[in-house]
A and B are shown apart, each in its own frame.
Chain A
Amino acid sequence: MSVRRYWQMLVAPLDGPLFGFSVLLLILATVALASAAPERLSAHWLNLGVALAVMRIVAQVPPQRLMHIALPIYVLGLLLLIAVALFGDVSKGARRWLSLGFMRIQPSELMKIAMPLMLAWYFQKREGLLVWRDWFIATLLLVMPVALIARQPDLGTAVLVFAAGFYVIFLAGLSWKVMLGLLGLAAAAAPFAWNLLHDYQRQRVLMLLDPQQDPLGKGFHIIQSMIAIGSGGLFGKGWGQGTQSQLDFIPERHTDFIFAVWSEEFGLTGNAALLILYLLLIGRGLQIALAAPTLFTRLLAGALTLIFFTYAFVNMGMVSGILPVVGVPLPFVSYGGTALVTLGIAMGILMSIQKNRMLVQK
Chain B
Amino acid sequence: MRIKDAQEGLEQFNRRIASAGGLVIVCFVLLFGRFFWLQVIQHDYYKTRAEDNRISLVPIVPNRGLIVDRNGEVLARNYSAYTLEITPSQVSDLEATIDALAEFITIEPKDRKRFRKLMEESKRFESLPIRTRLTDEEVAKFIARRYRFRGVDIKARLFRQYPKGAFASHVLGYIGRVTDRDLERIAENDQEANYRGTDYFGKSGLEQHYEFELHGQTGFEQVEVDAGGRAVRTLSRVAPVPGNNLTLTLDAKLQEVAEQAFGDRRGALIAIEPSTGGVLALVSVPNYDPNLFVDGISAADWQALNEAADKPMVNRALNGAYPPGSTFKPFMALAALHYGKRRPEQAIMDPGGFNFGGHFFRDDKKGGHGMVDMYKSIVVSCDTYYYLLANDMGIDAIAAFMGPLGLGSKTGIDIEGESEGVLPSPAWKKKRFKKPEQQKWYAGETISIGIGQGYNAYTPIQLAQAVATLANDGVMFRPHLVKYITDTKTGEKRFIEPQPIRKLPWKQEHIDVIKRAMIGVTKEGTGARAFAGAEYVAAGKTGTAQVFSYKGAEHKTETMKAQLRDHALFIAFAPADQPKIALAVLVENGGFGAQAAAPIARQVLDYYLLGKLPKGMAPTDEAAVEADPE
- Residue of B at shortest CB range from A287? B17
15 residue pairs A–B, Cβ–Cβ below 8 Å: A173-B16, A216-B222, A220-B57, A224-B53, A227-B53, A229-B46, A230-B46, A231-B49, A232-B39, A249-B53, A275-B32, A290-B14, A302-B20, A309-B27, A321-B34
Alpha-carbon separation in the docked complex, A271 to B29 (Å): 12
Stretch at the interface among A52-60, A96-104, A107-115, A278-286: A278-286
A230–B125 CB distance below 8 A = no
A243–B53 CB distance below 8 A = yes
B38 at the A interface (CB under 8 A)? yes
Known interface pairs A229-B38, A231-B50, A309-B24; 20 further A-B residue pairs with C-beta atoms within 8 A, sorted by A's residue number: A171-B17, A173-B13, A216-B222, A227-B49, A230-B42, A230-B47, A230-B50, A231-B47, A232-B39, A234-B39, A244-B53, A248-B123, A271-B35, A275-B32, A279-B24, A279-B25, A286-B20, A316-B31, A320-B31, A322-B34
Choice from A92, A230, A233, A320 contacting B190 with Cβ under 8 Å: A92
Alpha-carbon separation in the docked complex, A99 to B49 (Å): 45
Alpha-carbon separation in the docked complex, A33 to B499 (Å): 52
**Which chain B residues border A286 with CB–CB below 8 Å?**
17, 20-21, 24
**Which chain B residues border A172 with CB–CB below 8 Å?**
13
B53–A272 CB distance below 8 A = no
B104 at the A interface (CB under 8 A)? no
Alpha-carbon separation in the docked complex, A227 to B38 (Å): 8
Alpha-carbon separation in the docked complex, A224 to B14 (Å): 42
Alpha-carbon separation in the docked complex, A282 to B16 (Å): 15
- Helix, strand, loop or mixed for chain B's interface? helix
A275–B123 CB distance below 8 A = no
B6 at the A interface (CB under 8 A)? yes
Q: Using a CB–CB distance below 8 Å, which chain B residues touch chain A? A: 2, 5-6, 9, 12-14, 16-17, 20-21, 24-25, 27-28, 30-32, 34-36, 38-40, 42-43, 45-47, 49-50, 53, 57, 123, 125, 188, 190, 220, 222, 236, 238
A119 at the B interface (CB under 8 A)? no
User: Which residues, 196 to 219 on A, are CB-close (under 8 Å) to B?
Assistant: 216
A226 at the B interface (CB under 8 A)? yes
Beyond A128-B9, A248-B125, A279-B24, is A271–B39 a contact (Cβ under 8 Å)?
yes
A127 at the B interface (CB under 8 A)? yes
B17–A302 CB distance below 8 A = yes
Query: Lowest 3 A-B CB distances belong to which pairs?
Result: A230-B46, A231-B50, A230-B38
Choice from B17, B27, B38 contacting A313 with Cβ under 8 Å: B27
Alpha-carbon separation in the docked complex, A229 to B49 (Å): 11
Q: Using a CB–CB distance below 8 Å, which chain A residues touch chain B? A: 91-93, 127-128, 167, 170-173, 216, 220, 224, 226-234, 243-244, 247-249, 263, 267-268, 271-272, 275, 278-279, 282-283, 286, 289-290, 295, 298-299, 302, 306, 309, 313, 316-317, 320-322
**Which chain B residues border A227 with CB–CB below 8 Å?**
46, 49-50, 53
**Which chain B residues border A128 with CB–CB below 8 Å?**
2, 5-6, 9
- Residue of B at shortest CB range from A269? B39
Alpha-carbon separation in the docked complex, A43 to B627 (Å): 68
**Which chain A residues border B16 with CB–CB below 8 Å?**
170-171, 173, 302
B21–A234 CB distance below 8 A = no
Beyond A128-B5, A173-B12, A216-B57, is A230–B31 a contact (Cβ under 8 Å)?
no
**Which chain B residues border A282 with CB–CB below 8 Å?**
24
B20–A247 CB distance below 8 A = no
**Which chain B residues border A171 with CB–CB below 8 Å?**
13, 16-17, 20
The minimal Cβ–Cβ distance linking B409 to chain A, given in whole angstroms, is 23
**Which chain A residues border B13 with CB–CB below 8 Å?**
171-173, 295, 298-299, 302
A278–B35 CB distance below 8 A = no
A230–B39 CB distance below 8 A = yes
Alpha-carbon separation in the docked complex, A128 to B40 (Å): 52
- Residue of B at shortest CB range from A292? B13
**Which chain A residues border B12 with CB–CB below 8 Å?**
173
The minimal Cβ–Cβ distance linking A48 to chain B, given in whole angstroms, is 25
Choice from B14, B35, B50 contacting A268 with Cβ under 8 Å: B35
**Which chain B residues border A316 with CB–CB below 8 Å?**
31
- Residue of B at shortest CB range from A279? B28
**Which chain B residues border A232 with CB–CB below 8 Å?**
39
**Which chain B residues border A167 with CB–CB below 8 Å?**
20
**Which chain A residues border B57 with CB–CB below 8 Å?**
216, 220
**Which chain A residues border B50 with CB–CB below 8 Å?**
227-228, 230-231, 243-244
The minimal Cβ–Cβ distance linking A40 to chain B, given in whole angstroms, is 15
Alpha-carbon separation in the docked complex, A137 to B47 (Å): 53
**Which chain B residues border A234 with CB–CB below 8 Å?**
39-40, 43
**Which chain A residues border B27 with CB–CB below 8 Å?**
309, 313
A320–B34 CB distance below 8 A = yes
A93–B35 CB distance below 8 A = no
- Residue of B at shortest CB range from A283? B21
The minimal Cβ–Cβ distance linking B589 to chain A, given in whole angstroms, is 43
Alpha-carbon separation in the docked complex, A63 to B190 (Å): 43
The minimal Cβ–Cβ distance linking B178 to chain A, given in whole angstroms, is 17
The minimal Cβ–Cβ distance linking B430 to chain A, given in whole angstroms, is 24
Alpha-carbon separation in the docked complex, A198 to B47 (Å): 36
**Which chain B residues border A295 with CB–CB below 8 Å?**
9, 13
**Which chain A residues border B53 with CB–CB below 8 Å?**
224, 227, 243-244, 247, 249
Beyond A128-B6, A227-B50, A283-B21, is A233–B40 a contact (Cβ under 8 Å)?
yes
A231–B46 CB distance below 8 A = yes
The minimal Cβ–Cβ distance linking A200 to chain B, given in whole angstroms, is 11
Alpha-carbon separation in the docked complex, A278 to B338 (Å): 79
B125–A233 CB distance below 8 A = no
Beyond A216-B236, A313-B31, is A233–B43 a contact (Cβ under 8 Å)?
yes
Alpha-carbon separation in the docked complex, A309 to B220 (Å): 39
B38–A226 CB distance below 8 A = yes
Alpha-carbon separation in the docked complex, A224 to B57 (Å): 12
Beyond A230-B45, A234-B40, A267-B39, is A278–B190 a contact (Cβ under 8 Å)?
no
Alpha-carbon separation in the docked complex, A229 to B28 (Å): 16
B31–A247 CB distance below 8 A = no
Beyond A233-B47, A289-B17, A313-B31, is A173–B222 a contact (Cβ under 8 Å)?
no
Choice from A230, A244, A248, A272 contacting B32 with Cβ under 8 Å: A272
The minimal Cβ–Cβ distance linking B31 to chain A, given in whole angstroms, is 5
The minimal Cβ–Cβ distance linking A213 to chain B, given in whole angstroms, is 14
**Which chain B residues border A249 with CB–CB below 8 Å?**
53
